[in-house]
C-alpha cells in the first residue's frame, strides 16, 4: 500500500471544513484514499482477542442507498488486514441469514443496509426484488430471516450496526428491542459535535475526552429507544441541531450505544453517513473497540440506563 502525501490529507481537511454547512458529496475510492485510510488505521486492537474472529459485513441495501457503503467495506478490510485480529467476508446475499451461515461468524456488521418502502423490512425487500414469490410468502420468509438474526445474537453472536442499518426491520418491536431503538427521522446534514456520555468509559477512549465534530445526519429514534435499555456512549445536544421536528424532553440525543441481548452483544454507531468522516482516525479505534466488545474480547461496563423516571 503506497503512502499518501501529507499535503493530500491537509487538502482533504481544508475541503471538509469549507463545506461544514453543506451536504458532502460522494468521494471516489482511489489509491490515495485507500493509502490515507491505511495510514490512519491502528496496527493493533485494544486487547488481544481469544482467537482470530470471523466477521460478516453485510452491505446490501434496497433503498436510501448510502454512497459510503463501499468505503466502509474497504475500511473493515484494512482494519482486518492491518491488525490481523479478524477476517471479514463482505456479503450481499440474503442467504447469509440462514442459521447454517450465521453460525460461521463471531459477529455480523450491518453496513448501512437500508430497506425501502413503508414496510421498512430489508428481508422482505430482498426477497421481492430477487425472487418471484408472493407477498404472503415474502412476509413469512422475511420473518424467518429476522428470527434467525434475533436468535443468533440471543445465543451469543455479536452485532455491529452502522448508521442507517438501524432501519433493517424498523417496524418490528422485537428487532427494536434487540438493537436498542428504531429510526424516526433526521434533519438535514450539518456539523454535529458528538460528545462522550462518560469520558472514562473504555469504548470512547478513542476520542480522548474531546468528542468528535463532523458532518452527518443527526438521527432521532423511536420505539424501544425510550426504554433506554442500553449503555449510551455518544450524544449530541438537541438545541444545537437545526430542523428539529418534535419537541424532546431530554437535551441529550444518544447516537451510539452498547447493550446485551440474551447472551449476545450489540454496538450501534450512527456516525457513518459520509466517507469524509473517516478523515478522523479516532473512528477506526472506536469501530474496532465496538467490534471487540460484541465478540466478547473487550470486557466493558454495559449496564443499561433503563427507563428514566
Structure confidence by residue, pLDDT tens digits, 48-78: 999 999 999 999 999 877 889 999 999 999 9
% of the chain residues with pLDDT over 90: 78
- State the residue for C-alpha cell 433503498: 63
* Regions of the chain short of the pLDDT cut 70: 1-23, 308-309
pLDDT at residue number 67: 87
Residue among 233, 227, 119, 121 at smallest CA distance from 180: 227
Which residues does residue 247 pair with via DSSP β-bridges, in sequence order?
none
pLDDT at residue number 308: 59
Domain assignment present for residue 302? The answer is no
**Exposed, middle or buried by CB within 10 Å (0-12, 13-18, 19+), for 260?**
middle
Domain assignment present for residue 309? The answer is no
pLDDT at residue number 39: 95
Domain assignment present for residue 301? The answer is no
232 φ, ψ (degrees, to nearest 5): -75, 145
Cβ atoms of 164 and 192 closer than 8 Å:
no
* Cβ-based neighbour number of residue 23 at 10 Å: 12
Enter the pTM of the model. 0.91
The CATH number for 154's domain is 3.40.50.880
Distance between CA atoms of residues 188 and 232, nearest Å: 23
Residues 6+ apart with CB under 8 A from 87: 52, 53, 54, 55, 80
Number of domains in the chain: 1
Domain that includes residue 224, residue range:
6-294
Structure confidence by residue, pLDDT tens digits, 194-253: 999 999 999 999 999 999 998 988 999 999 999 999 999 999 999 999 998 888 878 999
The x, y and z cell numbers of residue 50, run together, are 481469544
pLDDT at residue number 22: 56
Amino acid at each position: 500500500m503506497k503512502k499518501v502525501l501529507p499535503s493530500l490529507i491537509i487538502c482533504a481537511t481544508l475541503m471538509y471544513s469549507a463545506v461544514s454547512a453543506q451536504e458532502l458529496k460522494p468521494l471516489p475510492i482511489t489509491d490515495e484514499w485507500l493509502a490515507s485510510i491505511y495510514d490512519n488505521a491502528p496496527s493493533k486492537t485494544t486487547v488481544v482477542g481469544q482467537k482470530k474472529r470471523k466477521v460478516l459485513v453485510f452491505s446490501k441495501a434496497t433503498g436510501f442507498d448510502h454512497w459510503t457503503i463501499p468505503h466502509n467495506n474497504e475500511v473493515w478490510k484494512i482494519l482486518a488486514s492491518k491488525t490481523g485480529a479478524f477476517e471479514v467476508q463482505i456479503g450481499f446475499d440474503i442467504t447469509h441469514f440462514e442459521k447454517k451461515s450465521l453460525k460461521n461468524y463471531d459477529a455480523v456488521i450491518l453496513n448501512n443496509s437500508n430497506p425501502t418502502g413503508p414496510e421498512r423490512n430489508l428481508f422482505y425487500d430482498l426477497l421481492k426484488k430477487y425472487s418471484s414469490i408472493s407477498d404472503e410468502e415474502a412476509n413469512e420468509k422475511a420473518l424467518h430471516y429476522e428470527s434467525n438474526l434475533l436468535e443468533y445474537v440471543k445465543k451469543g453472536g455479536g452485532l455491529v450496526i452502522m448508521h442507517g442499518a438501524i432501519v433493517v426491520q424498523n417496524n418490528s418491536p422485537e428487532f427494536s428491542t434487540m438493537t436498542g431503538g428504531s429510526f424516526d427521522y433526521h434533519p438535514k446534514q450539518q456539523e454535529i459535535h458528538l460528545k462522550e456520555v462518560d469520558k472514562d468509559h473504555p469504548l470512547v477512549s478513542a476520542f480522548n475526552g474531546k468528542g468528535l465534530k463532523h458532518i452527518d445526519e443527526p438521527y432521532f429514534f423511536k420505539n424501544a429507544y425510550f426504554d433506554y435499555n442500553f449503555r449510551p456512549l455518544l450524544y449530541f445536544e438537541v438545541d444545537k441541531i437545526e430542523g428539529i421536528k418534535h419537541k424532546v424532553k431530554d437535551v441529550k440525543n444518544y447516537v451510539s450505544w452498547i447493550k446485551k441481548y440474551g447472551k449476545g452483544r450489540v454496538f450501534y454507531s450512527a456516525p457513518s453517513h459520509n466517507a469524509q468522516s473517516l478523515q478522523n482516525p479516532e473512528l477506526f479505534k472506536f469501530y474496532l473497540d465496538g467490534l471487540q466488545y460484541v465478540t466478547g474480547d473487550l470486557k466493558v461496563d454495559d449496564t443499561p440506563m433503563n427507563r428514566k423516571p
